Structure 1
Amino acid sequence: MILTVDVGNSNIVAVLYGKNRQRIWNTRHQTMKKPQKGEYREFFANHKRRSEAEISGVMISCVVPHIFDIVKRAAEYVFSDIPVAFLDTFTLDDFDVRLDNPREVGADLLATSYGAREYPQPVIVADLGSASKLTAVEGNIFYGGIIMLGIGNMASALHLSIPHLPKIPLVRPEKVITDDTIGSIQSGIIYGAFGSVVQLANMMEKQVGSPCKRILTGGYAKLFSTEMIEEAGFEYNEFLLSDGLYFVMKQLIKKNA
């Protein structure tokens, strides 16, 4: 079994995989950005106890720099008897990152791009989290992408910059043209973000120069209906990032066998 852990800016997603990529269970917790002593040890210990069979490897992505060392020490302490790896460009020695500085690529972008290798190529991945990220990949080539403000942060930024506006609940209105101010703001944020993703994917596909498979993932992707996603030419994959971590760990275990 392989345990994958994605430590994001908002949430931590852990998935336990069995044979043939079967997902045994998954958990989602709020990221502990100011952890108390031992909190991450307890987090990993709880997940280790939850596993009914022996874990053969743990693959982690962490995009929160100031807690990276805390997470690393905690994971290596709890799983001291098995391989623990953290995803970066050095972990993926078969991945051609075509950026001026490949080290700038976040572990989350690497993981979703690696997971996308299971699809017909080339692929555009739209990952809607704290930031909305679109990346273009083809086989083992990472072309690059786009990073913009995430949907949740868009709502927060609007409230902070215009104080007389209330905090906006992130609920997708049934129609684009709404009947009140709150609905209009929700429509602008949510449908506006979706429209941006679709148009940016069109522009990226034109630059790539061939039709691209389009994958939508990330926590905020759940705001959109299956019909909306499919009409825009995307396929939804909730666990694309975790699948990518799983594939990398499988490769490392095989390489070191």
Structure 2
Amino acid sequence: MLLAIDAGNTNVVFALVDEARTIRARWRIATDPRRTADEYAVWLSQLLALEGFARDDVSGFIVATVVPRALHNLQVLSSKYFRTEALVAGRPPVEWGIAIDVDEPASLGADRAVNTIAAHALYAGDLITIDFGTATTFDVSDYTGAYKGGIIAPGINLSLDALVTAAAKLPRIAIEAPATPSVVGRNTVDQMHIGIFWGYVAMIEGLVARLKAQVGRPVKVIATGGLAALFEQHTTVFDHVEPDLTIQGLAMMWQNAHIR
């Protein structure tokens, strides 16, 4: 089986994927570039055992990371504890394989490139892929699969953290839909819920509308990331929700590299 790793700014997600690209198990741990391969191995071995697997069940290893300092220890984890070389998304033999049609192709985050590859493999036509992570990213790809650019906005948790940190009297609240459809809050907490949640939905809908107008052709909107399912219940802007798009993309890239 394949161990696919998505190392983001907030969390590192490990997923065990079988030959049919079915995710058999997944785990996440807070991103810390100082975490050693030995620490990863102890943590991961225990979790594999809890799911009925062992390290010997892993025959492939692929990593996408937007945290360069975290990569070395993940590569050591692969070679030392899984006795296999870690493939790194975007490097031979798992290059992107799509046109990166932007001013600075090298600056594109690995997760965004992988999401674009996976979205194009799953859905035809022009696409907008929205990933709800530390940042909320909007990625535009055309009907050929070429990456054309996008938008980076603060993630909703980041926005809330900034608000609470800067305003001494505001409490920390959960990220959830307001209890009523009213957008006139009657107390501080309700007003914060309305501002954070409905303000974020309005941002998503507004930016997607502007992107669609600029593309000028029919566009499908694909959402991924942990909060995609929450927003899906309160907007009609998404055509499809794929919670594991990055992991799916990594599995596709790994399989394609071994078919060649």
Instruction: Give the direction of change, closer, same or farther, for the CA distance of 1:74–1:106 in structure 2 (3 Å limit).
Output: same
Structure 1: give runs of 5+ residues left out of the alignment.
none
**1:100-249 aligned within 5 A:** 100-117=103-120, 118-138=122-142, 139-174=144-179, 175-177=181-183, 178-224=185-231, 226-229=232-235, 231-249=236-254
- In 2, the alpha carbon distance for the partners of 1:10 and 1:95 equals 27
Q: Taking structure 1 as the reference length, what is the TM-score of the superposition?
A: 0.88
What secondary structure sits across from 1:123 in the alignment? strand
Please name the residue that 1:85 is paired with. 87
Q: Taking structure 2 as the reference length, what is the TM-score of the superposition?
A: 0.87
Identity percentage of aligned residues: 25
The number of aligned residues is 252
Please name the residue that 2:78 is paired with. 75
Bigger mean CA offset, 48-57 vs 82-91: 48-57
Cα contact 1:133–1:145 (8 A) shared by 2: yes
Instruction: Give the direction of change, closer, same or farther, for the CA distance of 1:89–1:137 in structure 2 (3 Å limit).
Output: farther
Cα contact 1:176–1:191 (8 A) shared by 2: no
Structure 2: give runs of 5+ residues left out of the alignment.
none
What secondary structure sits across from 2:218 in the alignment? coil
Instruction: Give the direction of change, closer, same or farther, for the CA distance of 1:110–1:200 in structure 2 (3 Å limit).
Output: same
Instruction: Give the direction of change, closer, same or farther, for the CA distance of 1:140–1:235 in structure 2 (3 Å limit).
Output: closer
Bigger mean CA offset, 150-159 vs 135-144: 135-144
Cα contact 2:157–2:175 (8 A) shared by 1: yes
Superposition deviation, residue 107 in structure 1: 1.0
- In 2, the alpha carbon distance for the partners of 1:34 and 1:83 equals 21
Compare relative contact order (CA 8 Å, sep 6+) and give the higher one, 1 or 2. 1
- In 2, the alpha carbon distance for the partners of 1:146 and 1:111 equals 16
Cα contact 1:89–1:105 (8 A) shared by 2: no
Cα contact 2:8–2:66 (8 A) shared by 1: yes
Please name the residue that 1:10 is paired with. 10
Please name the residue that 1:95 is paired with. 98
- In 1, the alpha carbon distance for the partners of 2:97 and 2:36 equals 38
Quote the RMSD (CA, aligned, Å): 2.3
Cα contact 1:131–1:147 (8 A) shared by 2: yes
Cα contact 2:37–2:74 (8 A) shared by 1: no
